[in-house]
Structure 1
């Protein structure tokens, strides 16, 4: 990152409440979409219909021993947000390099994939890494595991997994878009830099940047179609953007082709690659009659159902806020208390961070949750 964006905005109470609702909606919506797809992500559409009826999945189905279980998509999204909060807190020290803080957060996630539980000796891990329920392997992508297999941080100049364009970087990138005080080009840049830590193919990291810019527009109260157009404009300036640009244009074209169907979703791909997952998530959000309809459309296809559901849920949750989410799915969602705590902490840091830490003094409780080290 070339420079830190300014923090001179003054938030009114109504603006803070709206922002918190969108942050909560983003995280919870993504987690619900993830949970809806978790039990069917490796099934064909035919197999889904055989198991769940002609309409496919219409409710949460068991995965990992329970209903409402989330996967690595939600896990990594939470650690993305944790890293962004830590970056803001560490800025007081004069250290300002958010990709490093996000990378450290991803390393904390990687520890949850091989450790039995939290290591109380690592005092600087912060509170999220001490949540025991996160210590569960939920089909993480190989590129995410290998990219974070050592402490060397991938960069755009020297990315990890140069040939990987799987969706593992896209599905964790919605929190970058919640940096509403940043300019879109900085949001895009941060997302691609952090994506290159595990996915080095241009499509792998540019799709993450496009998703972040779309989310950013929605968090600022813009409409989804305009948000996609803004992302296309940012993509056009980047080498290697063709696959991601073409996928988003196919998603926009599919909207004009008639009533949404699983076949139309599958015409955009299966979602295993970054551009396909983004296109499916965007398409389902664009045609959604409501959040329930959009999420069920996003998961009922033969492909990476949890990731496409998560992306669609992030978008719809950011667009409509938490109160639009189906309560019957929320009540069964794994980790809901943790997700809400993190969302509220992020919203508080972004709107009231100066009162929590700074030259004039810092809250010990906040620094215990988000250590500067």
Structure 2
């Protein structure tokens, strides 16, 4: 009986992670790559629900309210590859999946395509560059934005550092840098600890990654882990924890940054999740309203909080609209995908795969 209850709770939290990812993405869609001043001008300021993108939206002009972006779609690309590969990851097939996705987006006339790091890496792979070297400049958040399926599929209690290994594996093609791997592992770990029932999943994720050896190619850019720790502490127990929401967002824009760089956007997502963890809906409204890479910050924040609380923590009307549009417009089935990822998680908790060694760098 307890095992059945545990599996049901795992499913609810896993569904919360993917729901939160897509919800944060859809809320941030109309404001992505816009300044706070432009958000004020075009949308009247704070975002409180799904909004149609204005014609002046630089990436998704006139996109309908509740639509998701590449964050959600690429997360599902990774999820489906993990499910198809039975809990492993064929990176060559994954690369082809991403290229096929972009081709489909171009055919629809979408401007919401692969990010700069991902595009450069996939083109290098197509030109014959070895997979260990295609992602050596990827310090942006492309790996972290699609990390939730890794956190769902692999428990922190799985043997042989499987969570860390698979987070790194998912970065090899496009974000094989210290920053890219740390960012992806942080988000995946926060999701995974949340699903496992941790009362402090964000703190546990930071601790988990802090104990891992650094992996990936060196970059001179700031450490993702150091900046996440700094702004998480500031938002959780420091000066940011008592600030009014508007002052909090202004300080985060000024001192952390909200760009596509992983050391800014992932730190911002952790800060919003910490500051508004008791009100996940408000957390996502704040992410959508801050300016910068709002859809990705919202997607990461939503995945982490959804994993902790389950899908029922989010506004039911928004969730119903979201799920309907995912099926009708994107041909994505949230329930089927979650079930496939949870199946991997439950199996790997009890199975020791001899292909996985104990060193997350190997």
Instruction: Output the TM-score relative to the length of structure 1.
Output: 0.76
Asked if 1:204 is matched to 2:193, the reply is no
* Inter-partner Cα distance in structure 1 for 2:21 and 2:133: 27
1:221 equivalent in structure 2: 197
Q: CA deviation at 1:88?
A: 1.8
1:60 equivalent in structure 2: 50
Verify the 8 A CA contact 1:214 1:224 in the aligned structure 2: yes
Q: CA RMSD in A?
A: 2.9
Q: CA deviation at 1:33?
A: 0.3
Note the residue ranges of structure 1 that are not aligned, 5 or more in a row. 1-9, 90-97, 119-132, 354-373
The 5 A counterparts of 1:183-262 are 183=159, 185-222=161-198, 223-235=200-212, 237-238=214-215, 243-255=223-235, 256-257=238-239, 258-259=242-243, 260=245, 261-262=248-249
Q: CA deviation at 1:238?
A: 4.8
Q: CA deviation at 1:309?
A: 0.4
Given candidates 69, 72, 80, the residue that maps to 1:71 is: 69
Verify the 8 A CA contact 1:33 1:312 in the aligned structure 2: yes
Structure 1 residues 117 and 20: CA distance shift in structure 2, 3 A:
farther
* Inter-partner Cα distance in structure 2 for 1:324 and 1:246: 30
* Inter-partner Cα distance in structure 2 for 1:297 and 1:116: 28
2:251 equivalent in structure 1: 264
Q: CA deviation at 1:193?
A: 2.5
Verify the 8 A CA contact 2:149 2:341 in the aligned structure 1: no
Structure 1 residues 349 and 111: CA distance shift in structure 2, 3 A:
same
1:24 equivalent in structure 2: 15
Verify the 8 A CA contact 2:265 2:297 in the aligned structure 1: yes
Given candidates 267, 289, 294, the residue that maps to 1:279 is: 267
Verify the 8 A CA contact 2:47 2:286 in the aligned structure 1: no
Given candidates 334, 345, 370, the residue that maps to 2:340 is: 345
- How many residue pairs get aligned? The number is 318
Q: CA deviation at 1:226?
A: 2.8
Q: CA deviation at 1:225?
A: 4.0
Of 289-298 and 146-155, the range deviating more from structure 2: 146-155
Verify the 8 A CA contact 1:271 1:278 in the aligned structure 2: no
Q: Any runs of at least 4 consecutive aligned residues in structure 1 with deviations exceeding 6 A, and if so which?
A: none
Given candidates 50, 67, 73, the residue that maps to 2:41 is: 50
Q: CA deviation at 1:325?
A: 1.6
Verify the 8 A CA contact 2:202 2:270 in the aligned structure 1: no
Asked if 1:174 is matched to 2:148, the reply is yes
Q: Secondary structure at the match of 1:335?
A: helix
Verify the 8 A CA contact 1:106 1:148 in the aligned structure 2: yes
* Inter-partner Cα distance in structure 2 for 1:36 and 1:238: 33
Verify the 8 A CA contact 2:144 2:184 in the aligned structure 1: yes
Q: CA deviation at 1:349?
A: 4.7
* Inter-partner Cα distance in structure 2 for 1:153 and 1:189: 22
Structure 1 residues 291 and 188: CA distance shift in structure 2, 3 A:
same
* Inter-partner Cα distance in structure 1 for 2:184 and 2:291: 22
* Inter-partner Cα distance in structure 1 for 2:194 and 2:234: 21
Asked if 1:331 is matched to 2:320, the reply is yes
Note the residue ranges of structure 2 that are not aligned, 5 or more in a row. 54-59, 349-362
Of 34-43 and 198-207, the range deviating more from structure 2: 198-207
Verify the 8 A CA contact 1:176 1:191 in the aligned structure 2: yes
1:306 equivalent in structure 2: 295
1:126 equivalent in structure 2: none
Q: Secondary structure at the match of 1:285?
A: helix
Q: CA deviation at 1:335?
A: 0.7
1:148 equivalent in structure 2: 122
Verify the 8 A CA contact 1:203 1:274 in the aligned structure 2: yes
Instruction: Output the TM-score relative to the length of structure 2.
Output: 0.79
Q: CA deviation at 1:139?
A: 3.6
Q: CA deviation at 1:203?
A: 0.9
Verify the 8 A CA contact 1:188 1:210 in the aligned structure 2: no
* Inter-partner Cα distance in structure 2 for 1:103 and 1:30: 25
